[in-house]
Structure 1
Amino acid sequence: MSQFVVSGRFQDRTGYRQFEKAVDAPNENVARERTFTLLGSEHGLKRMQVDIEGVTAA
């Protein structure tokens, strides 16, 4: 598995917050999906509250 760095922003109570997550995944699409899952479980977010701006190989 490769490691990808996913960056973007998500909506919280005070506005938007920037994030950057390192994710192990076989490709970029799976890295995006895992990021949605992680942010949803950690912060209680819906997919519509997360804006992924970029995915790069680490």
Structure 2
Amino acid sequence: MSQFTVTGQFESRDGHAEFETTIDAENEDVAREHAFSQLGSQHGLKRTQIDLEEVVAQ
């Protein structure tokens, strides 16, 4: 497994909030899915409320 750094922003009550997270995944697509899943469950967001700007392998 590789580590990926995922950056982007999501809709919050006060506008948009930026985030950066590190995810262990097999490839970039799996890292994107994990990011959507984590942010959605932590902040009660839908995928349309999350904007992934960059996924970079470490």
Category of TM-score, reference length = shorter chain: over 0.9
Per-residue CA deviations over 1:2-51 (Å, capped at 9, x if unaligned) read 00000000000010000001000000000000000000110000000000
State the distance in 2 between where 1:16 and 1:57 align.
25
TM-score calculated relative to the size of structure 2: 0.98
Runs of 5+ in structure 2 lacking a partner?
Answer: none
Runs of 5+ in structure 1 lacking a partner?
Answer: none
Aligned to 2:26: 26
Percent identity over the alignment is: 57
TM-score calculated relative to the size of structure 1: 0.98
- Corresponding pairs, count: 58
Moved over 4 A (4+): none
Superposed CA RMSD in Å reads 0.4
Aligned to 2:39: 39
